[in-house]
Chains A and B, each alone.
Chain A
Amino acid sequence: METILEMRNITKTFPGVKALNNVNLDVRKGEIHALVGENGAGKSTLMKVLSGVYPHGSYEGEIFYNGQEQHFRDIGDSEKQGIIIIHQELALVPLLSIAENIFLGNEPAKFGVIDWHVAENRTRELLAKVGLKEDPLTLITNLGVGKQQLVEIAKALSKEVELLILDEPTASLNEKDSDALLALLLEFKAHGISSILISHKLNEVGKVADRITVLRDGATIETLDKDEISEDRIVTSMVGRQLADRFPQREPNIGEVVFEVKDWVVHHHIHSDRTVINGINLNVRQGEVVGIAGLMGAGRTEFAMSVFGKAYGRKISGEVFIKGQKADVSTIGKAIDNGIAYVTEDRKTFGLNLIDHIKHNATIVNLGGVSHNGVLDDMAELKVANEYRRKTNIRSSSIYQKTGNLSGGNQQKVVLSKWLFANPDLLILDEPTRGIDVGAKYEIYTIINQLVSEGKSVLMISSEMPELLGVCDRIYVMNQGRLVGEMPASEASQEKIMRAIIRAEGKAS
């Protein structure tokens, strides 16, 4: 098969760090080539070199595309050649329509006057290609993340793409949308479009990729062919060691029910006549890890946030019992006082002050613990910050590193630290391992085990079913704002959970 792209001996140095060290990557025409590696392995840097974000001359090595050496100076150069990159963080303007976004900067226009008729028609064609049934005039803000992802791809298609680069395209998609997206990649492949797929989700990679290149610490480790691909093999190659078990062992030591929610009903925060959570009853025991499975949009985050001091929703009704006593969780402050912590799924938007350093982030929930009469004790705060940095194994130059400059996994550990220092009895963890690498995931699981062994309880929301099965003692299944299943983890399986969801979907429709 013909080679469309060859990157030879790419070395990229930042002040103090060698981000890429003699990396080689070749992509064949019409193949789906997966690029995997831990966070910080250099995947995104490599793609930035390829797309011209880091212009020619700022790195060493050669790029051959369609047999010719390329010197891309910016993204425009690489796009002209048909190399389109779709970033992890979507780059759509929320208050513009689908059509406006697709042709942003590339509008079909005569003398600066946009021909909206042409734009809409072409948008319709593109949307049909990616299988998105939406009106071209719909505003982006009214679309879910999955559909936004498809709009990004439609936008790429509008530019005559030959090589499509997708950086973690399914990180925020549910299983259904992810599958649809992967099917789309396969379809593109049939049309001769090559793709580079960066992903943490190894099962997806295994499904669609023709070959896999593994990066570790800025170097190419190996390129595997389809028949060599196995999850264990990839994981071993990624982390550079045998990961005997992806989930640390734990001896469950489960006590009485400490947290109970009864008849919980929540309405939509804008459309208050819409019921988002419809009569949920659940409980968590001391020392227990309870999972909530479900598809994206099942209402899991909404449920958790509404319990946590009505941080979400309107017209909330129902009761919360803590250790058998009725508890007032009507404000976030009261929820925290009642020993509840909510660790958000979106650490950048809801979890951290990204412009401040680790120390200030770590103590913000429990400033009372490092102050007397409202006056902060600097020494106490230093001690606490260092202690939690050590406990959660945050990799940073010091506690004075800005959280905005940390990798996803380390940011997650800072968010965990700030809630651990508040010393809650129940931690609600919302997608605690989203977008972080295999090694950091293991560390988060270890922290969870440590917590429950200290007699705390954990309620964990996750879209990764193997993770729920590997970490939890008991799993609830949620669908469309209702609990549609409950099972001990020992009896649960991915099939059982999916079956519960599908059965409920069937009833609902």
Chain B
Amino acid sequence: MTIETAATQGKKDFKTDGSALKGNYREYGLVLALILIMLFFQFTTNGVLFRPVNLTNLVLQNSYIIIMALGMLLVIVAGHIDLSVGSVSGFIGGLAAVMMVRWQIHYIPATILCLVMGGAIGAAQGYWVAYHKIPSFIVTLAGMLVFRGLALWLLGGQSVGPFPPQFQLLSSGFIPDFFAYPGFNITSMLVGIILVALMIYFSVRGRAKREKHGYEGEPFALFVAKNLIIAGIVLFLTYLLSSYKGLPNVLIVMSILIALFVFVTKRMTVGRRIYAMGGNEKAAKLSGIKTERLTFLTFVNMGVLAALAGLIFAARLNTATPKAGLGFELDVIAAVFIGGASAMGGVGQVMGAVIGAFIMGVMNNGMSIMGVNIDWQQVIKGLVLLAAVIFDVYNKNKA
């Protein structure tokens, strides 16, 4: 009946791929917002923000939030929420201290046990959410209370420390320098350069592959500009960090995790299924997706990451306190929503959540340096969260 129109549509297919870019505009906007915020604080703090030592601190201070944001993104995309992550990370930090300090267990098995424990906690909560359809808000609110209480009980209300020096390296260590050039960590710089080279290689290869199949990507100029800017930023930051103590270990752990989660969400079937489930759970189920198991696994994953964050936080403070992780869940959830995730599920990007976490982190850091009181810091952070989401909703309605 409409064979002609079908044929003309067919020709158009090869050109329309560019509209895939649309979804990325938000991420570009977010990066721009982060850069503007950083420049703002760089200016108002008289250049303290970009000082190598402060930049290093920024990474160390936000690593655990970012790591939890990765798991939280999946939970929120799946259409749920996890309020317990702060308590869980505090509990695991306490568990690590009790095992390593009181019971003198070697730090490697202790770390592994802690991660397994985190997974088990995630599984326990995910079980009720996934298989019994109890709202995640309620299950994890219960978990928030339970694990805060258990952390208090475990530590007997006291701080426990210090940790073995090797364990502290998880948080306060830097990658070793093989060149021993005073004042500059050449190894770190090399790692940065190799990373940028790899990034450009994959990006060029991906583009070549698309072109070989006859799909037009973004315009060549934009492609080059994007890669140059990202490479420039990465090299600049690496240079700054290298001129202090080099790349922190935790930055390496974090980067690997970010890359892994980007890959899982963008390129793997399991990631695609989580988005499909968050978008329409009933339709996903009728498409043969095992929605219960998938929900369960997102909570297990969240538990493991909360445990890792708890370990990093404990290693950083070099002591486990019953109050550790208090309120972390709010920072993590805020980061994910600033990053553009939808509270309805099905929408959200890993890089968005990471940048969202950095926006929160830079604001914390910058306002502290400026001497803004903690009360006003809270007010401003709250307003930024609200503004980011309003901006999103406004944009969506306009489109």
Contact = CB atoms under 8 A, between A and B. Distances in A.
A343 B159 CA distance: 59
Contacts of A190: none
Interface stretch (B140-148, B267-275, B314-322, B349-357): B267-275
B398 to A, nearest CB: 10
B276 A351 contact: no
Interface in B279-296: 279-280, 282-290
B342 to A, nearest CB: 8
B213 interface: yes
B283 A352 contact: yes
Interface in A333-375: 333, 335-336, 342, 344, 349-356, 360, 364-365, 367-368, 371, 374-375
A349 B2 contact: no
A376 interface: yes
B133 interface: no
B94 interface: no
B268 A360 contact: no
Given A332-B285, A355-B279, A397-B16, A390 B9 contact: yes
B218 interface: no
Given A355-B346, A367-B273, A376 B280 contact: no
Given A364-B287, A365-B288, A379-B213, A353 B16 contact: no
B215 A382 contact: yes
A450 interface: no
Interface in A427-452: 439, 442-443, 446
A382 B206 CA distance: 14
The residue in A351, A356, A443 that gathers the most chain B C-beta atoms within 10 A of its C-beta is: A356
A310 B20 CA distance: 37
Given A332-B285, A333-B288, A393-B2, A364 B272 contact: yes
Contact of B6 (A332, A365, A393, A397): A393
Contact of A364 (B6, B209, B289, B342): B289
A418 interface: yes
Contacts of A374: 268-270
Interface string B1-15: 110011001101100
Interface in B305-357: 342, 346-347
A375 B264 CA distance: 8
Contact of B1 (A350, A386, A418, A439): A439
Given A382-B213, A398-B19, A342 B286 contact: yes
Contact of B286 (A350, A376, A390): A350
Contacts of B17: 382, 398, 400
Contact of B283 (A333, A349, A446): A349
A309 B267 CA distance: 28
A356 B273 contact: no
B19 A400 contact: yes
B226 interface: no
Contacts of B210: 378-379
A389 interface: yes
A302 to B, nearest CB: 14
B180 to A, nearest CB: 41
A333 B290 contact: yes
B276 to A, nearest CB: 5
Interface string A400-441: 100000000000000000100000000000000000000100
Interface residues of A, number: 44
Nearest to B342: A355
B286 A442 contact: no
B279 A443 contact: no
A399 interface: yes
A332 B286 contact: yes
Interface string A69-104: 000000000000000000000000000000000000
Nearest to B285: A332
A317 to B, nearest CB: 22
Given A364-B289, A379-B210, A389-B13, A350 B268 contact: no
Interface residues of B, number: 39
Contacts of B9: 389-390, 395
B276 A356 contact: yes
A364 B1 contact: no
B283 A351 contact: yes
Contact of A376 (B5, B10, B269): B269
Given A354-B279, A367-B273, A400-B16, A418 B287 contact: yes
Given A374-B270, A375-B268, A439-B1, A365 B287 contact: yes
Interface string A27-70: 00000000000000000000000000000000000000000000
Given A342-B286, A364-B289, A386-B13, A442 B215 contact: no
A171 interface: no
A311 interface: yes
Interface in B1-44: 1-2, 5-6, 9-10, 12-13, 16-17, 19-20, 22
A314 to B, nearest CB: 16
A443 B1 contact: yes
A374 B6 CA distance: 32
B279 A356 contact: yes
Nearest to B271: A376
Given A352-B280, A390-B6, A393-B2, A398 B13 contact: yes
Given A332-B285, A333-B288, A354-B279, A376 B20 contact: no
A308 B288 CA distance: 10
Contact of B347 (A351, A355, A368): A355
A368 B269 contact: yes
Contacts of A382: 17, 213, 215
A400 B17 CA distance: 8
A360 B274 CA distance: 12
A446 B6 contact: no
B269 A367 contact: yes
A238 to B, nearest CB: 14
Nearest to B12: A398
Contacts of A397: 16, 19
A376 B267 contact: yes
A96 B109 CA distance: 57
29 contacts: A311-B285, A332-B287, A333-B288, A335-B288, A350-B283, A351-B286, A352-B283, A353-B284, A354-B280, A356-B275, A356-B279, A365-B288, A368-B269, A374-B268, A375-B269, A376-B267, A376-B268, A376-B269, A378-B210, A379-B210, A386-B10, A390-B10, A390-B13, A393-B2, A393-B5, A400-B16, A400-B17, A400-B19, A446-B1
Interface of B: 1-2, 5-6, 9-10, 12-13, 16-17, 19-20, 22, 209-210, 213, 215, 267-270, 272-273, 275-276, 279-280, 282-290, 342, 346-347
Interface of A: 308-309, 311, 332-333, 335-336, 342, 344, 349-356, 360, 364-365, 367-368, 371, 374-376, 378-379, 382-383, 386, 389-390, 393, 395, 397-400, 418, 439, 442-443, 446
Shortest 3 CB-CB distances between A and B: which pairs?
A398-B16, A353-B279, A367-B269
Given A354-B280, A365-B288, 12 more contacts: A332-B286, A333-B290, A335-B288, A364-B284, A374-B268, A376-B269, A379-B215, A395-B5, A397-B19, A398-B12, A418-B287, A439-B2
